[in-house]
Amino acid sequence: LASELAQAEQRERDRMAQLLHDHLQQLLVAAKFQIDSLDRFRVQNPTVASRFDVLEDLLREAIQTCRSFAVELSPAALDLGLGPGLKWLAGWMNEKHGLSVTVDVRGDCQSCDKELQLLLFQFAQELLLNVVKHANVDHAEVRVECLAKRAIRLTVRDRGAGFDPTAVRRGEGTERPSYGLFSIKQRVELIGGKLRIRSRPGLGARVELIVPQV
């Protein structure tokens, strides 16, 4: 069920990314071309020229935002496998949130099921966003290991604020790290996996997922 939900979510992300790229982005580019074609009015009226400059800046920002959203919704690097996808994610986290992420992939994780790779990518993304929201640090570590007995371990670690892991089992709160981890824990268990947490207030956190390969 969790795998099917992840696939459905990714299909919708792909559809939205295609919509942004093929329609909205092209409309914005066309609008910019139309403004560029009116350059002669800039010379005739300084007031009009300044307003054109503002419009061009707004359109450039809108086009860049549209491109950024399209990439975030459906990163092309994920098509190359989990390792390249996680490295792209590390760069995105640094660019968007100022979080430096070290990625360590051990073993041949590329051969595992594509749907499982997608799930692990999404789990890693959610865990890193949890770090951004709650850990108060500028660095985190992501490690993926292909284990014996056809299992994969994903570990996300930070040396930040930490928290009480027992709150995760109770699913307490909607703003604390325990809420996001409780949601991940439920989905991991749906695919026969386990979630382990080591954390204490002030001593950082280590979240480990072990999931079976399909």
What percentage of the chain carries pLDDT values higher than 90? 25
Q: What is the mean pLDDT of the chain?
A: 80
Stretch 153-175: mean pLDDT: 78
With b for 16 or more beta-carbon neighbours within 10 A and e for fewer, the 52-89 pattern comes to beeeeeebeebbeebeebbbebbbebbeebbbbbbbbb
Phi/psi at 196 (5° precision)? -125, 140
Q: Which residues pair with 152 in a beta bridge?
A: 146, 211
Identify the bridge partners of residue 205 per DSSP, sorted by sequence position.
158, 199
Asked if residue 153 has pLDDT above 70, the reply is yes
Q: Which of 203, 159, 163, 208 is nearest to 184 (CA)?
A: 208
Q: What is the mean pLDDT of residues 62-90?
A: 78
Higher pLDDT, 168 or 171: 168
Q: Which pLDDT score is estimated for 19?
A: 65
Chain mean position to CA 49 = 40
Is residue 114 very low, low, confident or very high in pLDDT (cuts 50, 70, 90)? confident
Residue 193 has φ and ψ, to the nearest 5°, of -100, 180
Beta strands in 10-160 (DSSP E): 100-106, 139-147, 151-158
User: Regarding predicted confidence, which is higher, 154 or 72?
Assistant: 154
CATH code for the structural domain at 76-212: 3.30.565.10
Would the pLDDT of 214 be above 70?
no
Per-residue pLDDT, 174: 45
Pairwise CA distance, residues 50 & 52, whole Å:
5
Lowest mean pLDDT among 8-12, 27-31, 49-53, 146-150: 8-12
pTM for the model stands at: 0.68
Mean pLDDT along residues 103-107? 90
Query: What mean pLDDT comes out for the span 32-47?
Result: 74
